[in-house]
Amino acid sequence: MESVLKRYFGYSQFRPYQKEIIQHILDGRDCLVVMATGSGKSLCYQIPPLLRRKTAVVISPLIALMQDQVMSLKQRGIKAEYLGSTQTHQTVYFVAESGVLDLLYMTPEKACSLSQSFWRKLLDSGISLFAVDEAHCISEWGHDFRKEYKQLHALRQYLLDIPFVGLTATATEKVRKDITNSLKMSNPYIAIGSFNRENLFYGVKSCHCTLSFVDALVGEISKHLAGGGSTIIYCTTIKDTEQVSCYMITMNSEHYANSPRTLTQYEICCLLCFILTINFRISAEMSLKIIYQSLQIFEALRNAKIKASMYHGQMGNKARQESHRLFTRDEVQVMVATVAFGMGIDKPNVRCVIHYGCPKSLESYYQESGRCGRDGLASICWLYYSRRDFTKADFYCGESNSVNHRKAIMESLMAAEKYCLLSTCRRKFLLQYFGEQVQFSSCGNCDVCLGSQRERDLSRESFLLLGCIHSSGGRWGLNLPIDILRGSRAKRIIENGFDKLPQHGLGKDYSPNWWKELGGVLLAHGTITVKKYLPRPVEFFHPCLFIFIYIYITII
């Protein structure tokens, strides 16, 4: 084992767990490997085929990832190829089934669609293992569930005596169980590494508007760039339309800025607003907001002379590769990206990962923030959230019909919300979330432990807010009770007699936003719960209806 490690990879020692895992695979045992990003999981499935001289089949979710891996393996003198949906060269299939390859990568879709005769031929030539990378995609409880992953178990019927190896960087107990069950692993060897990345600082700030985010952002980034490191900004966590549009806009603004006649911001906004409203059927107001946000961020970076590039799933292949290239070669210092920029980024000197918006789960936060400090040097992870982020469960649930999946999405978002609102050590919370035993109560390297967040006794204020919610009947959301506390004499308050409540006007010392934050903390601690009310039925005899009927009759 050591000689293969040295010969092909140039390392003289195995990292924790690598040797045990490889040994178990060689013994024909199924394995589940749960180890942090950058801990060296890939080596666990790359070495057995070199020792056994039999092909290892590796399932990987992304073509780009496979391309990178295959290229770097080839450079080391290892025979590797990949089969993706775009792979049409018959020679690759022919070479693959003849068993001369050390590693054969494929997407889950490809694996399930390959013919029985392909598998039989490959089996006859010899398969050393069947590895499923990013195995958390198998589980509905995971943060990145994919249907195709769930169908991989069907391959067990062809690959009876082949060791199955599931690898992932994040898996809670539930997800681990799902992986072993779904891949029908029998008595698997389970290796769970520590999730503690001691060199990473974790911090959270609340942020109500893009402008304040941009101010903080430019300051934070400038600090890190002096040392020559780079930064990734996960600009927003909203998956589809919002992300897509956000980056489309920033791309376009750059594009237009370079064209002979520079369009004004206003023109770009109008144009994009129109496109977005038509194409994505989101409200005009919403699309305008997104446009302004991204323009502000991008412009602020430019004004501060920070070179930024961007990356998202909807960009063309070429543009994406170019963006990636600029970032890896340090030609741009900041990557503003959606979560599409992620898997397989092996850049050692990322000094800072900033999230603009609360991620949809702690699993994804851990993975995304974990892309900094891979070289072991001190690095920083800031998360900026707004209370609105916590109300996006419905959006994330999107098209999912599965009750379990929807429940999992809600639970994940709630855990992320709790993380944002913590008043105890963030690292401890993260590690415990991933099921790790933690001995310390304070890590000394998060905003809470370093005291940038001071603890204060807010029982009086909490009691005031709870009392006010209760006295006003508990059915007005947060805004009305806060208005009562702040002594508002709005019509709604007078009409309902809320100005006579003992709490009326007692909370003038704090701003509405401050009270909303407190409400958010109470929500996260379960002191307040939110009940969903059904939307009000459409009023059939809305005054507008008469006007329409009138106009209609007049026209006729």
Chain positions contacting ligand ADP, by CB under 6 A: 11, 13-15, 18, 35, 37-43, 346
Of 465, 463, 509, which Cα lies nearest the Cα of 484? 465
Q: How far apart are CA 348 and CA 332, in angstroms?
A: 15
Cβ 197 to ligand ADP, closest distance in Å?
12
Cβ 225 to ligand ADP, closest distance in Å?
24
Q: Could you tell me the two tokens for 167?
A: 């690898």
Pick one of ligand ADP, Zn ion, none as the site partner of residue 449 (Cβ within 5 to 8 A by kind). Answer: Zn ion
The set of long-range contacts for 249-256, using a CB threshold of 8 Å and a minimum separation of 24, is: 249/290, 249/291, 249/294, 249/295, 250/294, 250/295, 250/297, 250/298, 250/310, 250/336, 251/310, 251/315, 251/319, 253/295, 253/298, 253/299, 254/298
Partnered with residue 201 across adjacent β-strands are 380
* Nearer Cβ to Zn ion (238/446): 446
For helices 459-471 and 512-524, give the axis angle rounded to 10 degrees.
90
Hey, what amino acid is at 128? S
Q: Could you tell me the two tokens for 74?
A: 């080839």
Q: How far apart are CA 161 and CA 539, in angstroms?
A: 65
* Nearer Cβ to ligand ADP (8/93): 8
- Residue 480 CA, chain-centre distance (Å), reads 34
Hey, what amino acid is at 20? E
Pick one of Zn ion, ligand ADP, none as the site partner of residue 229 (Cβ within 5 to 8 A by kind). Answer: none
Cβ 274 to Zn ion, closest distance in Å?
48
DSSP state of 446: B
Residue 446 contacts residue 203 (beta carbons within 8 Å): yes
Pick one of ligand ADP, Zn ion, none as the site partner of residue 427 (Cβ within 5 to 8 A by kind). Answer: Zn ion
Cβ 204 to ligand ADP, closest distance in Å?
25
* Nearer Cβ to ligand ADP (75/86): 75
Pick one of Zn ion, ligand ADP, none as the site partner of residue 231 (Cβ within 5 to 8 A by kind). Answer: none
Cβ 353 to ligand ADP, closest distance in Å?
15
Cβ 159 to ligand ADP, closest distance in Å?
23
* Nearer Cβ to Zn ion (253/379): 379
Cβ 491 to ligand ADP, closest distance in Å?
59
Pick one of ligand ADP, Zn ion, none as the site partner of residue 43 (Cβ within 5 to 8 A by kind). Answer: ligand ADP
Other CB atoms within 10 Å distance of the CB of residue 111: 22
* Nearer Cβ to ligand ADP (35/127): 35
* Nearer Cβ to ligand ADP (13/91): 13
Binding residues (CB under 5 A) for Zn ion: these are 425, 427, 443, 446, 449
Pick one of ligand ADP, Zn ion, none as the site partner of residue 425 (Cβ within 5 to 8 A by kind). Answer: Zn ion
* Nearer Cβ to Zn ion (204/352): 204
Cβ 100 to ligand ADP, closest distance in Å?
24
Q: How far apart are CA 161 and CA 180, in angstroms?
A: 16
Of 283, 338, 300, 337, which Cα lies nearest the Cα of 210? 300
Pick one of Zn ion, ligand ADP, none as the site partner of residue 443 (Cβ within 5 to 8 A by kind). Answer: Zn ion
User: How many angstroms separate the Cα of 474 from the Cα of each of 293, 480, 491?
Assistant: 34, 10, 19
Cβ 518 to Zn ion, closest distance in Å?
23
Cβ 479 to ligand ADP, closest distance in Å?
45
Pick one of ligand ADP, Zn ion, none as the site partner of residue 14 (Cβ within 5 to 8 A by kind). Answer: ligand ADP
Hey, what amino acid is at 505? G
* Nearer Cβ to ligand ADP (200/308): 200
Q: How far apart are CA 516 and CA 208, in angstroms?
A: 11
Pick one of ligand ADP, Zn ion, none as the site partner of residue 204 (Cβ within 5 to 8 A by kind). Answer: none
Show Cβ contacts of residue 80 under 8 Å, excluding neighbours closer than 6 positions: 69, 70, 73, 74, 101, 102, 103, 104, 105
* Nearer Cβ to ligand ADP (38/435): 38
Cβ 8 to ligand ADP, closest distance in Å?
11
Cβ 58 to ligand ADP, closest distance in Å?
11
Q: How far apart are CA 311 and CA 532, in angstroms?
A: 36
Pick one of Zn ion, ligand ADP, none as the site partner of residue 267 (Cβ within 5 to 8 A by kind). Answer: none
* Nearer Cβ to Zn ion (22/425): 425
Show Cβ contacts of residue 511 under 8 Å, excluding neighbours closer than 6 positions: none
Show Cβ contacts of residue 359 under 8 Å, excluding neighbours closer than 6 positions: 234, 237, 339, 365, 368, 383, 416
Of 51, 87, 49, 82, which Cα lies nearest the Cα of 65? 82
Hey, what amino acid is at 212? S
- Residue 135 CA, chain-centre distance (Å), reads 16
* Nearer Cβ to ligand ADP (37/309): 37
Pick one of ligand ADP, Zn ion, none as the site partner of residue 183 (Cβ within 5 to 8 A by kind). Answer: none
* Nearer Cβ to ligand ADP (375/411): 375
Cβ 36 to ligand ADP, closest distance in Å?
7
Residue 368 contacts residue 359 (beta carbons within 8 Å): yes
* Nearer Cβ to ligand ADP (42/309): 42
Pick one of ligand ADP, Zn ion, none as the site partner of residue 101 (Cβ within 5 to 8 A by kind). Answer: none
